[in-house]
Amino acid sequence: MNPDNPLIVQSDRTLMLHTVCSVLDAKGRPAKDADGNPMTEEHPRYAEARDCLSGFAELEKSPDYLHTYRVTPVSIWNAAALGMTADEIEASLQSLACVPIPKNVLVEIRTWLDRYGLLKIERNESKFELCSSEEGALEEVLGHKHVRELVEVDEDGRAWLGELARGPIKQALIRIGYPVDDRGGYVSGDPLEIPLRTHLLRSGDAFQLRPYQRSAAEIFHRGGSELGGNGIVALPCGAGKTVVGIGVMNLVGAKTLILTANTVAVKQWRDEILDKTTLGPDDVGEYTGDEKRVCPVTITTYQMLTWRRERTGNFEHFDLFSSENWGLVIYDEVHLLPAPVFRVTADLQARRRLGLTATLVREDGKEDEVFCLIGPKRFDLPWKVLEGQGFIASATCTEVRVPLAQSLMPAYASATARRKFRISSENPEKTRVVQALIQKHKSDRILIIGQYIDQLNALAHELKVPLITGKTPNAERQSLYQAFRDGDVRVLIVSKVGNFAIDLPDANVAIQISGTFGSRQEEAQRLGRILRPKSDGTGASFYAVVTLGSRDQEFSQKRQLFLTEQGYSYEIIEAGRLFEAVDSGVSA
């Protein structure tokens, strides 16, 4: 062990990563600044450790000097799906640790990794068998009531299950720590050739998948074998996840059902498919509140599928899953998959299933459900890698801290914790910060994103700029988005509808004025709105405006976890410093 290494591994499977180390003077002693404070610099192995840990651990906290990761069963199983071995994980930890690693941590990692694929589902003629090459493993899991109820055990001790039991058995087994390797194969679905264009229909420019997009599609497909055909592709917003989906459609060559986050995404998927494949308008249908057209490729929303007339009523559009012989189901923004859709997804294990996302983090903790029903993470690329290759824009992240308005202090002091968050999130002092940032970026295209409609309405009135919310008609949304693209609108305010599927490649500044508690996925999505490469090669700027010393600031730090894990760091400035810099015309 090297005491200068940055990592401490604890027996509860938390990993403490030092981000900085002391600066030494000429005599090898800790140096101090003019005020007598210890001087620090980024630890020379921090970036290496961060990139390494992201492959098999989850970042939980990221204060300035010490980041906390945790090793979990799902993080280890995803690492196994990407080909990592227990020896490689142990070697990485040993290389980075500054103190001895507790033996129980290494044992648990090996136990979890060994369980990946220990149980398999295999097709035996027209039946499916749950089996294991490890003696005693099958008997152990059959001892659990919820597992035993889903199988039929014959006189030879072999466990058989019906086709519709493939999903439920995987759910039951993952709850007791046994992820199943499903080799049961897939129904082909109705064939549909989906050739890719060599030149884009709209612009006439040459088109081909980028190398990483092609790799992601091929790794998912695995030549059509049962080794592939299900799983997650994780790529940053702006990196072309939709194009990966189109690449998979081309390889599978079958009727495809695509589930998206909202109607804007439905239209963008349709436009992209028509632009990049030779399919025609009659081949690609939208199934939304505006139009219900089932075609060989059909695109709908999670909201549409989970709509029902009454809270206890039936989900009337679930039959879309079974109405056609789909060969592929694509789950866009799979981290948003609603709980009711898990139920039907459990019945779709005979269909190829592709999940697309920028982050596997789910606020409801159902990462294990996504893992067992959609599949493991098949492909992942760090955001900074794609930034370095020029495929997404470089970005700087800044947190601007503003004091709470004096008039709100009594109400804040007496409020509940939840109410404190709302009061500090809607702090009216944030308006002046937004005005200063607009002045600072007066030649840029700016998106202002927030959570609370009253706050956004007040800001839109004050700034005299347009606002898009969930109630804005689709035609008006599209008109405003186009005006933004054309440069007729330079500043646009959006509510949570701006988290997903806005294709605004020239947006290069995002100002977040309020968010959903500690939602890491939301922070990733909002930064992603400005990461598409710019035509002039310039970078992007992301600002989080938070109320100093409040619940708003606490949750902002939680939201930033995912971006920290991806290699982004937040510069923190006080609002007063920003005002002075803008007034003087210099950088804050």
pLDDT value of residue 86:
95
Q: pLDDT tens digits for the chain (588 residues)?
A: 688 899 999 999 999 999 888 888 777 777 888 777 878 888 999 889 988 998 899 877 776 688 889 999 999 998 988 889 999 999 999 999 999 999 999 999 999 999 998 999 998 877 899 999 888 899 999 999 999 999 999 998 899 998 889 999 999 999 999 999 898 999 999 999 999 999 998 889 999 999 999 999 999 999 988 888 999 998 888 889 999 999 999 999 999 999 998 888 899 899 999 999 999 999 999 999 888 999 999 999 998 888 888 877 788 888 888 889 999 999 998 988 888 888 888 888 999 999 999 877 776 778 888 888 999 889 888 777 888 888 888 888 999 999 999 999 999 999 999 999 999 999 999 999 999 999 999 989 999 999 899 999 999 999 999 999 988 888 898 899 889 988 899 999 999 876 665 667 678 999 999 987 667 677 777 887 888 877 677 788 999 999 999 999 988 887 787 777 777 778 899 999 999 888 877 665
pLDDT value of residue 362:
73
CB neighbour class for 326 (10 Å; exposed up to 12, middle 13-18, buried from 19): buried
Distance between CA atoms of residues 419 and 241, nearest Å: 37
pLDDT tens digits, one per residue of 365-407 = 788 888 889 998 898 887 778 888 888 888 889 999 999 999 9
Write the DSSP string, 480-545.
HHHHHHHTS--EEEE-GGGGS----TT--EEEE---STT-HHHHHHHHHTT-SPPTT---EEEEEE
Kind plus residue range of the DSSP H or E element containing 270: helix 263-276
pLDDT value of residue 42:
86
Asked if residues 369 and 342 have their Cβ atoms less than 8 Å apart, the reply is yes
pLDDT value of residue 94:
96
Asked if residues 218 and 156 have their Cβ atoms less than 8 Å apart, the reply is no
Indicate if 387-584 has the same CATH topology as 211-381. Answer: yes
Sorted by where each begins, the domain ranges of the chain are 7-115, 119-183, 211-381, 387-584
pLDDT value of residue 505:
67
pLDDT tens digits, one per residue of 15-64 = 999 988 888 877 777 788 877 787 888 899 988 998 899 889 987 777 66
Q: What letters, b where the CB count within 10 A reaches 16 and e where it falls short, cover 435-454?
A: ebbbebbeebbbbbbbbbee
The candidate with the shortest Cα–Cα distance to 569, out of 40, 69, 64, 52, is: 64
Asked if residues 529 and 399 have their Cβ atoms less than 8 Å apart, the reply is no
Going 286 to 292 to 297 to 303, the CA torsion angle's sign is positive
CATH number for 387-584 (one of 3.40.50.620, 1.10.3720.10, 3.40.190.10, 3.40.50.300): it is 3.40.50.300
Amino acid letter, 503: D
pLDDT value of residue 142:
93
Distance between CA atoms of residues 258 and 378, nearest Å: 19
CATH number for 211-381 (one of 3.30.465.10, 3.40.50.300, 1.10.510.10, 3.20.20.140): it is 3.40.50.300
Q: Which residues, other chains included, contact 347 with Cβ-Cβ below 8 Å and sequence gap of 6+?
A: 164, 167, 321
pLDDT tens digits, one per residue of 222-274 = 998 888 899 999 888 888 999 999 999 999 999 999 999 888 889 989 999 99
